Amino acid sequence: MSPRCYRTQRYTIKKNNIKRTQHFFVFWSIFASMKILYTIVGTTSLILGIIGIFLPLLPTTPFLLLTAAMYFRSSPRLYYWLIQQKYLGSYIRNFREHKAIPLHAKIVSVSLIWITLSYCAIWILPYIWARILFLIIAISTTWHIVSYKTLKQ
């Protein structure tokens, strides 16, 4: 073989290694950006879940379950931190293990939904279609909450 062919062959090998390395870094950057995206979505749903504790129209448990799923995919440290929380972790553990909602949470949720939506429908909303919509929302969320099993303590 002439030295020229050897150099060309060596350059080709080097070029292929560079391409493989570039593909690896492209894959890694997509993977790393997905972890960041999962963390952002998980943190956003955690904030909405915490707000949902105080606002009756915002469900807490689905947002916390979404947070747990996103944290599980992004960072085990964040997932275990969430599971070990005194109040929020119990929501996730109860629902994940038993597919049930505690009786106290059901009573509080349904009561707050009906109090808030009744007040808005009677005193704030001037349109009959909006009042009917609020009634439908109250009935459907009540049915959804009551349809889950009651967790026996």
Q: Domain limits at 85?
A: 6-96
Task: Report helix, strand or coil for 81.
Answer: helix
In angstroms, rounded to a whole number, what is the distance separating the alpha carbons of residues 28 and 46?
A: 27
Number of domains in the chain: 2
Domain check: are 51 and 77 in the same one?
yes
In a domain, 151, yes or no: no
In angstroms, rounded to a whole number, what is the distance separating the alpha carbons of residues 74 and 28?
A: 14
In angstroms, rounded to a whole number, what is the distance separating the alpha carbons of residues 98 and 35?
A: 29
**First-residue to last-residue Cα distance in the chain:** 82
Whether this model's pTM surpasses 0.75: no
Burial 101-129 (b: 16+ CB within 10 A, else e): bbeebbeebbeebeeebeeebeeebeeee
Give the pLDDT of the chain (153 residues) as one tens digit per residue. 444 444 444 444 444 445 555 555 555 566 678 888 899 999 999 999 899 888 867 778 778 888 999 999 988 899 999 999 988 888 788 778 888 888 888 888 888 889 888 888 888 888 999 899 989 999 998 998 899 888 876
In a domain, 57, yes or no: yes
